[in-house]
Amino acid sequence: MRLTIAIVVLAVIAVGVVGAMMFGASRWRSKTDDLRTTLAAAPSPNTLATYDPREIATLPPPVQRYFRTALRDGQPIITRARVTWQGEFNMGTPAKDNWKPFTATQDFVPAAPGFVWDARIAMAPGLRVLVRDAFVAGVGSMHGAIWGLWPVVNTEGTPAIAAAALQRYLGEAAWLPTALLPRQGVTWTAIDETRSLATIRGGSITTSVEFHFGADGLIQSIFVPDRIFDNGKDPPAPRPWQGRNLNYQDQHGIMVPSDSVVEWLLPTGTFAYWRGRPVHIEYEYGLKGNGGVKRTQEH
């Protein structure tokens, strides 16, 4: 009799846990879909537009070399992009790494400009943290919750998080290079023969990211000297931040990074906290059903 009662209790608990997980996932998905809908509402051209090398003639030399290397003449201008990611996220500290696998889907809309990143980090067997970062309608946000229910990160609406999210958008535009063209609101300023500063405005926020170009003409790294670092323990403070592209691949005739790592440059040393790679990329050019085109590619 006692064994039967124990089994029934365990079954009820299991059903409750599964129900809670399903509820959390559903609520999380609904909020993510709302953000994607708002992001997708940004105006887009009704017809296909294409890249013309003449539009980069006045840009700094390393930026010109980049576009000539990454794009082909007549490349369609990307109006939407969706990237599916795999990689590892460092849940440890600068003193001790603790890499955990993640998968994510990220939507970009250059006309906004903005993105929505929706990730799943496998912390342990049966335990997942859902993470959603976004820059939508000029608002930056970062949310994380165990199974979408119990918050571990909840930051939104401040100028600091908006600037950080827009800086991230600029750096990740390397996966849809036409988003870095001047026609997409990006201003390029020369630094030296290998570096240039990209500046963009989103909503009320204007921010910049330094791009370092390699001998092959492609983006070797990005750098921000004072991005806000928050470890959840100490007061948030500006720290140098960089992303490095380790390899490149051809994607629908353009060159995009295939392996990358993102790092904080802290007083105690370099802290790598993200490394990932695209496994599926989908581009849209113009509006679907109105002269637009969609292309996908697996890796």
Q: What is the mean pLDDT of each run of 10 residues along the chain (299 residues)?
A: 50 44 73 95 80 96 98 94 97 92 98 97 93 97 90 89 97 98 97 98 96 98 95 87 97 94 96 97 75 52
Structurally, how many domains does the chain consist of?
Answer: 1
Q: What does the pLDDT read at residue 287?
A: 58
Q: What does the pLDDT read at residue 26?
A: 81
User: How far is residue 58 from each of residues 94, 180, 191, measured CA to CA in Å?
Assistant: 42, 14, 15
Q: What does the pLDDT read at residue 294?
A: 60
Which tokens in the block code for residue 15?
């059903």
Structural domain of 6: 2-298
| Separation CA 299–CA 295 (nearest Å) | 14
pTM for the whole thing?
0.88
User: How far is residue 165 from each of residues 57, 64, 141, 159, 205, measured CA to CA in Å?
Assistant: 29, 26, 7, 10, 10
Q: What does the pLDDT read at residue 222?
A: 98
Q: What is the largest CA-CA distance in the chain?
A: 83
